[in-house]
């Protein structure tokens, strides 16, 4: 071995010793199994979570009374990366606690790269709250889409019903008959109103007394005058 080869070998060994060792990535632990709540298969939508030392590292939901059994809901608990100061998951030999709907339902030992079947059982788990679905109200824009698809249906009318207005009925006011005004005479005696009824009343008035003498009315005076005329004519004959 020549001098150059020896120097190259020493340089490669030095670089290898000085370079930090690359951390081997750890493989997560897969879990799956049945979920029983109060001796009955769990309802769909319950949350299943995995905890290590009080920290949650994975979660999924139940479906058909199971968890982690479908390709769309594979339940993987990550493993810790020894090359970082943070704790990203479990280390082989640690205890993993499982909760269903916030209630403790089982535990298992973490195995990096393992596939573990673990059935979970719990009691008194509240039912999952359904997620409200937004309802879209159709607008009038679909009617203008033309005759190809029929316009998408007529929109629902929300016009308020008009309230009828009550018109008050006018009340008839009775007409008042004017009262005749009595005009006093120069002597102070009132003059009765000159109406046909008043004149007829005055004609039919009984005789009045003046200074104790009865004064006949107009009818009596006419009768006396007629008798005097007849007597006068008889004497002339």
Which strand ranges, in their side-by-side order, compose the sheet holding 95-100? 55-61, 47-52, 95-100, 103-109
The mean predicted confidence, pLDDT, of the chain is 74
What average pLDDT does this structure show over 203-225?
61
Residue 206 has pLDDT above 50, yes or no: yes
For 85: left if phi > 0, alpha if psi spans -120 to 50, otherwise beta; the answer is alpha
Confidence of residue 215 (pLDDT cuts 50, 70, 90): low
**pLDDT band at residue 74 under the 50/70/90 scheme:** very high
pLDDT at 60: 96
What pLDDT is stored for residue 224 in this prediction? 82
Is the pLDDT reported for residue 65 higher than 70? yes
pTM, whole model, 2 decimals?
Answer: 0.48
As given in the structure block, the two tokens for residue 207 are 């005789």
pLDDT in tens, 132-171: 666 666 565 444 444 444 444 544 555 556 666 666 565 6
Cα torsion 204, 205, 211, 212: sign: positive
49 or 164: which leads in pLDDT: 49
Q: Provide the strand spans (E) within 113-216.
A: 115-117, 120-122, 183-184, 190-191, 208-210, 213-215
Higher pLDDT, 160 or 203: 160
E strand or H helix at 186: none
Compute the distance between CA of residue 18 and CA of residue 93 in angstroms, rounded to an integer: 32
């Amino acid at each position: 071995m020549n001098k150059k080869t020896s120097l190259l070998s020493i340089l490669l060994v030095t670089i290898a010793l000085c370079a930090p060792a690359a951390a081997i990535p750890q493989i997560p632990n897969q879990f799956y199994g049945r979920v029983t709540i109060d001796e009955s298969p769990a309802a769909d939508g319950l949350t299943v979570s995995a905890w290590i030392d009080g920290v949650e590292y994975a979660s999924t939901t139940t479906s058909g009374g199971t968890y982690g059994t479908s390709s769309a809901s594979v339940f993987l608990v990550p493993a810790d990366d020894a090359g970082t100061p943070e704790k990203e998951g479990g280390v082989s030999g640690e205890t993993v606690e499982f909760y269903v709907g916030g209630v403790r339902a089982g535990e298992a030992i973490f195995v990096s790269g393992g596939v573990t079947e673990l059935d979970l059982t719990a009691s008194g788990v509240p039912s999952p709250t359904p997620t409200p679905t937004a309802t879209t109200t159709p607008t009038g824009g679909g009617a203008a889409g033309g005759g190809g698809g029929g316009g998408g249906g007529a929109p629902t009318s929300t016009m308020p019903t008009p309230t009828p207005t009550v018109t008050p009925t006018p009340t008839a006011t009775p007409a008042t008959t004017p009262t005749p005004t009595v005009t006093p005479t120069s002597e102070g005696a009132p003059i009765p109103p000159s109406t046909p009824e008043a004149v007829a009343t005055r004609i039919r008035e009984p005789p009045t007394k003046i200074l104790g003498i009865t004064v006949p009315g107009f009818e009596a005076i006419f009768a006396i005058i007629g008798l005097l005329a007849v007597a006068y004519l008889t004497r002339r004959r």
